[in-house]
Amino acid sequence: MFADKMILRIPGPTPIPPRVQQAMNQPMIGHRSGQFSELFARTAKRLKPYFGTSQDVFILAGSGTSALEMSVVNTLQPGEEAVILVSGAFGERFAKICERYGVIAHRLEVPWGKAVTPDLLQAFLSDKPQVKAVFATYCETSTGVLNPIRELAQVVRQHSDALFIVDAVSCLGAVACEMDAWGVDIVVTGSQKAFMLPTGLAFLAASERAWQVIDQKKPLAFYLDLKAYRKSLAENTTPYTPAVSLVFGLDEVCSMLEEEGLPAIIKRHELMRDMTRAAMRALNVPLMAEDAYASPTVTSCDPQGAFDAEELRKVLRTRHNVVIAGGQQHLKGKIFRIGHMGYCEPLDVLQVIAALELSLRQIGAPVELGAGVKAAQEVLFAHV
């Protein structure tokens, strides 16, 4: 087993393509140089299609959570009210951030593994006309659920004056996002998922409607003050020191995404989702998300006691050098999650399924070797 040939199939960070790695190896340059300004302005513009927006996209040195917080501290004031759609660990994080700043958080919770449906949201909003913002998670990484953002946006638009703010960290760049057309006000994401970069950058775009609110508010923080980023971006720079080497990489990532084209990227991820799900069904491993709300980027499986998810992960890691994710919070130790996004192709999915089958047998779980692979192959064959 080659130690450096680890197969990383978690829902982020995802593997770095060699040409992106190479781009990040460029010699360091000054972050206030003309060379960096040109690079920065170009990459910021190249991100727009993945958000589906004509608005500015801001690039922040920080993790996804810093961008979630940025969407809160620029749009709300203490004492104001917000609705948070909580379908897992990351929805709950939005609520915690709001509460840290004295924002009253009304949680619309669904069981982990379920999506928040438009009907649920409409009912929940009906007696809360005072709400200033609705926060949703596009892909809930902890469960593999893709919430129906387009439909949820419609509900917010028709039944409320609130801003609609979306955490798209673990799916943007791999799924459709039409921020402007759908009426989403703020979308945030991170670099280490479908954008195939190391962790360390976060991206945010805001609608005109959001800017009207932001312009009237005093920002509640400093490093995350969006108005400072807007002022700097107009001059092709950042208010504070940007993560230069990651921006080198981002520029190359944009080239890769443009070469493949967003429609093809979206199809590739849907295909990998369908292959993974077909394999799990063939192996009798229960899936957490329903078909209608299954994320194209991550699949969660709940063995429900048929075998030990942690034992499976351990054998995959130690005997096959394949890394998949476990559960978070109350699902820790109970479920496993397979990431299939970014620098990942259908054949990579076949590989991880094959290793998973071997590992299932190695931990003594009932499994027919090849059954999952065959089911996934059938899905792939029908597509190519």
* 61, 256, 262, 363: residue in contact with a copy of itself (rule CB under 8 A): 61
Minimum distance from residue 102 beta carbon to a copy of itself (Å)? 10
Binding segment toward a copy of itself, per CB under 8 A, in 50-58, 160-168, 214-222, 353-361: 214-222
Q: Per-residue b/e over 177-202, b at no fewer than 16 CB within 10 Å?
A: bebbebbbbbbbbbbbbbbbbbebbb
Minimum distance from residue 251 beta carbon to a copy of itself (Å)? 14
107 is in an annotated binding site: no
Site membership for a copy of itself, residue 28 (CB under 8 A): yes
Rg (Cα) of the chain, in Å, rounded? 21
Site membership for a copy of itself, residue 311 (CB under 8 A): no
Site membership for a copy of itself, residue 216 (CB under 8 A): no
Site membership for a copy of itself, residue 158 (CB under 8 A): no
* 25, 54, 158, 329: residue in contact with a copy of itself (rule CB under 8 A): 25
Site membership for a copy of itself, residue 26 (CB under 8 A): yes
Binding-site string for a copy of itself from residue 123 to residue 152, where x marks contact by CB under 8 A and - marks none: ------------------------------
* 199, 237, 255, 351: residue in contact with a copy of itself (rule CB under 8 A): 199
- C-alpha–C-alpha distance, residues 175 and 168, integer Å: 10
Q: Residues annotated in the binding site for substrate, as ranges?
A: 337
Q: Residues annotated in the binding site, as ranges?
A: 337
Note the residues at the interface with a copy of itself (CB under 8 A).
4, 6, 8, 10, 12-16, 21, 24-33, 61-66, 69, 73, 96-97, 100-101, 190, 192, 198-200, 219, 221-225, 239-246, 323, 325
